[in-house]
Amino acid sequence: MLHLRLIVPSDRTQEAVEVLETCPGVTNLVVLPGVAREPRGDVIFCDSARESANEVLSKLAWLEDEGSIAAEQIDLSLSRAADLAVEQAPGDPDDAVIWEELEHKVDADSRVTWAYLAFLAIATQIAGIGILQNSPILIVGAMVLGPEFGAVAAICFGLLQRRGHLIVSALRTLAVGFTAAIAITYACALVSYWLGWIDIGNLTGNEEVQFIVKPDRWSFIVALLAGAAGVLSVTAGKSSALVGVFISVTTVPAAGYVAVAMAVSDWGEVAAAVSQLGINILGMVISGTVTLMVQRKFWPQVGRRSSI
């Protein structure tokens, strides 16, 4: 369930209470008249089943301008009333997509931040070392560390909602992130090449990691499956499933391979790794967008907002 805190202008409190009382899945309703100071008004607390959240937020959308809405996930609720509220709400909590929550999440993930750049650069360097050392363990570790799926999900949401600015912002985040990560890894690999630590033989002899630079139909199919699973894990809040998505696609290893191959001047491998990177991102965007479309259209409990 979700815990909601509303700050409502006093002259519209009754209207908000009526909305909450008529929405299935809402319980534990508390009204505190006149206690809010900024913005001024009444405070309303309530708990809502995830399946009902879209309907509640849609009907109270005017509070974004006139008051305030805050929501947080309830990890434990020991209440018969809460159990009944979940039973009354349509569908299952794990299937419910709270579109407002998803919008805020993907908007944050579409921005270039220092943390995003640092994680992606570190992941790409680990992948590069794993490639040079012929170490699948390091490559898998780099895949888990990579933060790029957030921007991919933002593109999917932007395509669904036809929000060009979000798509452009997420594409810029991917481009800037991978460019910076590849540049840093390339610089480190180039120094290693000058020192004689690595040469082109480190790439040609690594058969176990050749899957990174051999994109084929299976690469695209895996990317499609990973994109669908990734969107489902984000909308359902299943972080453990999202880790599996990171391990499934070779975006970060492909970027690491690009950097290392450039450092040793193996340009044929550079082109192949870039193709792998593009195929993975394209496949995830296609299937992620389709998954969101299915969630919106065929699961009634996730499509109640009038703006969706």
CB 59 within 8 A of CB 5: no
Q: pLDDT of 69-101, one tens digit each?
A: 999 988 888 888 888 877 877 766 666 788 888
Q: Is residue 37 part of a domain?
A: yes
Residues 90 and 111 in one domain: no
Q: Give residue 52's domain range.
A: 2-96
Q: Is residue 253 part of a domain?
A: yes
Residues 211 and 107 in one domain: yes
Percent of the chain with pLDDT over 90: 51
Percent of the chain with pLDDT over 70: 91
Residue 47's beta-bridge partner residues?
3, 27
Query: Between 153 and 207, where is the model more confident?
Result: 153
Q: Is residue 126 part of a domain?
A: yes
Residues 218 and 280 in one domain: yes
What's the whole-model pTM score?
0.83
pLDDT at site 259:
94
DSSP secondary structure string for all residues of 240-304? HHHHHHHHH--HHHHHHHHHHHHHTT-HHHHHHHHHHHHHHHHHHHHHHHHHHHHHHHH-GGG--
Q: pLDDT of 30-64, one tens digit each?
A: 999 999 999 999 999 999 988 888 889 989 999 98
pLDDT at site 109:
87
pLDDT at site 305:
40
Angstrom CA distances, 267 to 99, 129, 253, 273, stand at 44, 18, 16, 10
Query: Between 273 and 82, where is the model more confident?
Result: 273
Residues 76 and 145 in one domain: no
Beta pairing, strands 2-8 & 40-48: antiparallel
With cut-offs at 50, 70 and 90, classify the pLDDT of residue 308: very low
Question: Residues with Cβ < 8 Å from 30, sequence gap 6 or more?
Answer: 44, 45, 46
